[in-house]
Amino acid sequence: MKMLKTIIVSVIVSALITAGGIWYYDQHYATKIAVIDMTGYIGKLKKEYMEGKLPKEELERRLKRLSSDIKNSYSSNKILILKEVVVSGKVEDYTPENTR
């Protein structure tokens, strides 16, 4: 009986350590892909600028903010690619307007 209890405890502890290791690897080391609709975002900014709704200073500020937000928001294990390139799959969607 004592041997069975030892085996059960060993299996549970091993499963917990393995699950924790897999979770940690997934969060900190596994490569993750996020997509951005850069064409749509730039097109929207261009349209607003051409219609006179967006001053040049605001346009430049938004583009600089996009660049800095991408650098600050994404760690070394996340890759940000254009939405047009991804055909299917489970990817995070990065929308520039959601940054602030």
pLDDT tens digits, one per residue of 25-80: 998 888 888 888 888 888 888 999 889 888 989 888 988 888 888 877 776 778 88
**Amino acid present at 84:** E
pTM: 0.57
What tokens does 71 get?
């650098």
Give the C-alpha distances (Å, rounded to integers) separating 86 from 24, 34, 35, 74, 92.
26, 10, 8, 18, 11
Structural tokens at position 35: 């997509």
Q: Residue 99: is its pLDDT beyond 80?
A: no
In sequence order, the β-bridge partners of residue 32 are 78
pLDDT score of 98 more than 50: no
CA distances from 7 to 14, 25, 46, 99 (A): 10, 27, 66, 50
pLDDT above 70: residue 1: yes
* pLDDT score, position 80: 84
pLDDT the model gives residue 83: 83
Cα–Cα distance, 66 to 40 (Å, whole number) = 14
Q: CA–CA separation, 32 vs 18, rounded Å?
A: 21
